[in-house]
């Protein structure tokens, strides 16, 4: 490596990328260990120093505004200062409204957003409430409302935690060639990722969501389960029903996480324009200022 290249890398590593992690267990960083690792792998690949802002989802809610306005304003100030927003997986209703508020903010402010599992379900609820105007829209996990845009999967027996979850490695097929995520995965026709959930997007609302710009670009083998969504006309609004962090590796970052970091750095468009032209995302790594130019960086198993 030439001295100048080396200096350039050092210089770029001083640039920071800030990601707001809007979760429930934020006091327990360990609960999000694999998410944090995946973010770090992606930031390393992009030569950015990663700064995580842990935000308690409930601090973004109206109740906190009433009871502790300083905490509420601090939480919103943190969210607004981030380059990108991540809503990770989770269970239970605490903090749900805060997660939905953070997602609405990312959607309307064109902030890069990645939702994981529950994060995807919250993105669909947010969209149904504020774009499709179903004010009561919710998940069956939390509310017996009229517009249940997230429902129990048939194989889940309520009250029987653990064994009834949809678990483990499953195949997701891309159904849309314009998908940003498909490009990030190296234009593969399908990808295998690990799952851990009981609820799913209600197929009854898919057509309406898609007409309004929320595209379900990745689906299960039988085309029934919505695995990846993307918003049209947004720099990076992506959510996945699976947990891509589980197979992220230091030198093989997970594609959806890499997309978030690239978008948060303002480089995603540039990177993807190379993919479109050259049809090979591995070429990007050779051209980018990254110190890593591993062939097969976008490997996906």
Ligand X SMILES: NC(=O)CC[C@H](N)C(=O)O
Catalytic residue among 41, 61, 83, 117: 117
> What are the φ/ψ torsions at residue 249 (nearest 5 degrees)?
-130, 155
Sole window of 19-27, 179-187, 194-202, 246-254 interacting with ligand X (rule: CB under 6 A): 194-202
- Which is nearer to ligand X, 203 or 289 (by Cβ)? 203
Beta carbon of residue 89, minimum distance to ligand X (angstroms, whole number): 3
Beta carbon of residue 131, minimum distance to ligand X (angstroms, whole number): 22
- Which is nearer to ligand X, 71 or 170 (by Cβ)? 170
Burial of 137 (0-12, 13-18, 19+ CB in 10 A): buried
- Which is nearer to ligand X, 46 or 57 (by Cβ)? 57
- Which is nearer to ligand X, 24 or 56 (by Cβ)? 24
Count of C-beta atoms within a 10 Å radius of residue 172:
25
> Among positive and negative, which fits the CA dihedral 243, 249, 255, 259?
positive
Sole window of 68-76, 130-138, 171-179, 190-198 interacting with ligand X (rule: CB under 6 A): 190-198
User: Among this protein's residues, is 117 annotated catalytic?
Assistant: yes
Taking CB under 6 A as the rule, does residue 118 contact ligand X? yes
> Could you say which residues in the range 147-186 bind ligand X, by CB under 6 A?
none
Say how far apart CA 233 and CA 219 lie, in whole Å.
21
- The residue number whose beta carbon is nearest to ligand X equals 89
CA R_g for the chain: 19
Taking CB under 6 A as the rule, does residue 225 contact ligand X? no
Strand ranges of the sheet holding 190-197, from the earlier edge strand across to the other edge: 49-56, 16-23, 84-87, 113-116, 237-240, 226-231, 214-219, 166-174, 190-197
**Beta-bridge partners for 113:** 85, 237
Beta carbon of residue 93, minimum distance to ligand X (angstroms, whole number): 10
Say how far apart CA 53 and CA 135 lie, in whole Å.
30
The residues that are catalytic are 117, 243, 245
Q: Which residues bind ligand X (CB under 6 A)?
A: 89-91, 117-118, 141, 196-199
């Amino acid at each position: 490596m030439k001295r100048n290249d080396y200096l350039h890398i050092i210089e770029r590593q001083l640039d920071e990328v800030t990601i707001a992690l809007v979760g429930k267990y934020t006091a327990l960083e360990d609960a999000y260990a694999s998410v944090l690792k995946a973010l770090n792998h992606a930031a390393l690949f992009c030569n950015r120093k990663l700064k995580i802002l842990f935000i308690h989802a409930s601090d973004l809610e109206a109740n906190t505004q009433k009871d502790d306005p300083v905490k509420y304003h601090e939480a919103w100030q943190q969210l607004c200062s981030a380059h990108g927003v991540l809503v990770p997986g989770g269970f239970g209703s605490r903090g749900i409204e805060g997660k939905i508020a953070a997602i609405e903010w990312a959607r309307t402010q064109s902030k890069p957003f990645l939702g994981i599992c529950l994060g995807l379900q919250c993105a669909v609820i947010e969209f149904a409430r504020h774009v499709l105007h179903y004010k009561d829209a919710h998940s069956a996990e939390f509310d017996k409302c009229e517009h249940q845009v997230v429902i129990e999967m048939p194989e889940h027996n309520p009250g029987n935690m653990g064994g009834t979850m949809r678990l483990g490695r499953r195949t997701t097929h891309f159904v849309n060639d314009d998908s940003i995520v498909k490009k990030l995965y190296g234009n593969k026709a399908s990808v295998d990722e690990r799952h851990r959930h009981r609820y799913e997007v209600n197929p009854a609302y898919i057509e309406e969501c898609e007409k309004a710009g929320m595209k379900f670009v990745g689906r299960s083998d039988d085309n029934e389960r919505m695995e990846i969504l993307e918003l049209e006309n947004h720099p990076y609004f992506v959510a996945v029903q699976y947990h891509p962090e589980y197979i992220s590796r230091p030198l093989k970052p997970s594609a959806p996480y890499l997309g978030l970091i690239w978008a948060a750095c303002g480089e995603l468009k540039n990177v993807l324009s190379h993919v479109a032209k050259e049809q090979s995302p591995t070429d990007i790594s050779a051209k980018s200022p990254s110190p890593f130019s591993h062939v097969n960086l976008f490997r996906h198993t």
